[in-house]
Chain A
């Protein structure tokens, strides 16, 4: 049972912008632990997309951006492209569990 909640699916046309919300609680995101995002293409391992709420690793396009406020975080994708079709997961740390938590995952479909 995931501690972080995401919408199951989001869709958009090529070139449009989409946003994925990640809702947590007082022992994870609300406790000032950072939020990180991963992209998982079909049949592959997850890949780090955003770390420390709003930082992109080298090689990740600036079309991807992250933000955090209170007990929630968001991943925004602008200029949606066909290759963005994948599953996206948020991740944080939970002090009550003494462990790491992932979001429920969101499938992005490019129409």
Chain B
């Protein structure tokens, strides 16, 4: 059974940093593409970042240059390093496992429960 468990959220001051983790079980993170998706309080879903099986990474314009996605194959864990945090980064952050039949695109068939990040002084 596929499981994704996020951790690392919390309260951080503007300009601060935080690292989120997503521990996976039931599959190998390096064999699938993995993403972070966030949801601000009372708002919709916003895609944040992706890491493909080959290692390429992409980011939403809103976080480019501040966030970094990575994975540790030995720990079967996905990470999101978040630097220079802003109030508008406040959200529940979900990790999601992707499936693509061919080329770019695809969908997210498994989601974690989410971890709340609050950026406030």
Contacts and interface: CB of A to CB of B under 8 A. Distances in A.
Given A45-B112, A51-B109, A99 B47 contact: yes
A46 B46 CA distance: 12
B105 interface: yes
A48 B60 contact: no
Contact residues of A: prevailing secondary structure: strand
B107 A48 contact: yes
Nearest to B113: A45
B111 A100 contact: no
B1 interface: no
Contact of A89 (B45, B60, B109, B112): B45
B60 A99 contact: yes
A102 B46 CA distance: 6
A38 B110 CA distance: 11
Interface size band for B: 20 to 34
A29 B95 CA distance: 24
Given A45-B94, A45-B114, A46-B94, A102 B105 contact: no
A34 B108 CA distance: 12
Nearest to B46: A102
Interface string B32-61: 000101000000111100100000001111
Nearest to A35: B107
A51 B97 CA distance: 14
27 contacts: A2-B46, A33-B104, A34-B106, A34-B107, A40-B45, A46-B37, A46-B94, A46-B108, A48-B107, A48-B110, A51-B109, A57-B109, A91-B107, A92-B105, A93-B105, A93-B106, A95-B104, A97-B61, A98-B58, A99-B47, A99-B50, A99-B59, A99-B60, A100-B35, A100-B47, A102-B37, A105-B44
4 nearest CB pairs, A to B: A36-B107, A93-B105, A105-B44, A100-B47
